Structure 1
Amino acid sequence: MPHVRRAPPARRIRIRRARATGLLAAVVALAVAVGHMVPASPSPSPSATVAASPPATPAADVPRPADPGDLGAADGAVPDDTTVFDDDVPGVAGLDPALLRALRAAATDAAGDGVAILVDSGRRSPAYQRRLLDEAIARYGSEAEAARWVATPETSAHVSGDAVDIGGADAMAWLSAYGRAHGLCQTYRNEPWHYELRPDAAARGCPPPYADPTQDPRMRG
């Protein structure tokens, strides 16, 4: 699919902040977005519509503007409306090549359903991840609670380039329904935006998501 570049001055860099729990409005928006995409009657083509069931979504957030400070694109901050085809964005270009190929294949299929898969956050520097963790600790009041939402720089799949946070309720719903065909799986139940590559998912299905990152054995390093 040809990719049309946007003029750089029109794109505002946004630092992704630690996501907050309990924002009902965002959850409702996701449910409504999914509901609008469900056909009146079953379709014989699985690529023609998005499934009726949204991702298991106990929490979501509304992105907030932020001062990038000393962190910028090289650390993983992404401009608004970044797509998986934006090679000039380090947060996208720095993703694991196999994950990026899967995302682009999925985005091409999703475009046929009128869905754009945007990138809210991709590969991050350790400094960026550290800032997100520090902000989460300040917000939630303890390291233990913050760990439910933000990993350490040493354990984060974002720092290694193995995870992507999807932007857009319709994109999250589409990946929840069809991502497994591309090996893309939601990793945590409390983060319907966080996807990682599971190569066997197309044949075996996605593994059950962990309740939150504290249940992921990789986070206990």
Structure 2
Amino acid sequence: MPYREPVRTAARRPRSTASSTVRSALGKAHGAVPDPVPVFDDGTPAVANLDPDLLAALREAAADAADDGVEIFVNGGWRSPEYQEQLLREAISKYGSAAEAARWVATPGTSAHVAGEAVDIGPSAARAWLSEHGAGYGLCQIYRNEPWHYELRPEAVEHGCPPMYADPTHDPRMRR
């Protein structure tokens, strides 16, 4: 049976009927990943629309992790701007303010997910494996508060991953 760890994001909180209607309109084609998928799933836009270099590094890491008995799944990847906006609205509702929501969800204009340059990984064994071995593939955890969020940093192969930001509000890319 495939891995199914609950995702702890604004997208997984109980929703109103209005939110559910929008969510169904902005489903898989917009980057939603209702159930974790393997990194080799080319039929899921959240995976297939990732930056090619990120996807190649992720797949190489996943193949090596499998040799160690660890399976890497994608809980989130590429997202459309509309889907990212929906996640942001849900986070504002959940956390009570845009400032607090910004610790967890970026705007469509700043999100690495919208650019296809970020992937959310599970389960915890996969995150632990990437935490130990990811730099060798250029895959780095970017935010201390999001152990599932990885981005490609090719220089990490030789120099190791850069220091993590506490959360996205400390990332200068989020101030565009």
Q: Scaled by the length of structure 1, what TM-score is found?
A: 0.71
Report how far residue 80 of structure 1 moved: 1.9
- Residues 155-195 of structure 1, C-alpha deviation per residue, up to 9 Å, x if partnerless? 00000000000020000000000000000000000000000
More helix by percentage: 2
Report if the CA contact (8 A) 1:186-1:195 is conserved. yes
> Which residue identity lines up with residue 51 of structure 2 in the other structure?
D
Displacement, 1:65? Answer: 7.8
**Counterpart in 2 of 1:198?**
153
User: 1:1-221 residue pairs with structure 2 within 5 A?
Assistant: 17-18=9-10, 67=20, 68-221=23-176
Partner deviation per Cα, 1:93-120 (whole Å, 9 max, x = no partner): 0000000000000000000111110000
Contact 2:32/2:46, CA 8 A, preserved across alignment: yes
* Aligned Cα root-mean-square deviation (Å): 2.3
Distance 1:159 1:90 in 2: 12
Q: Which runs of 5+ in 2 are unaligned?
A: none
Contact 2:110 2:173 in 1 (8 A): yes
**What SS does the aligned partner of 1:192 have?**
coil
Tell me the amino acid that sits aligned with residue 217 of structure 1.
P
Report the Cα offset of residue 69 of structure 1. Answer: 2.1
Equivalent residues of 2:7, 2:75 under 8 A apart: no
**TM-score w.r.t. structure 2 length?**
0.89
How many pairs does the alignment contain?
A: 168
**Cα distance between partner residues in 2 of 1:127 and 1:94:** 15
- 1:64 is displaced (CA, Å) by 5.8
Cross-structure match for 1:52? none
Bigger mean CA deviation after superposition, 72-81 or 170-179: 72-81
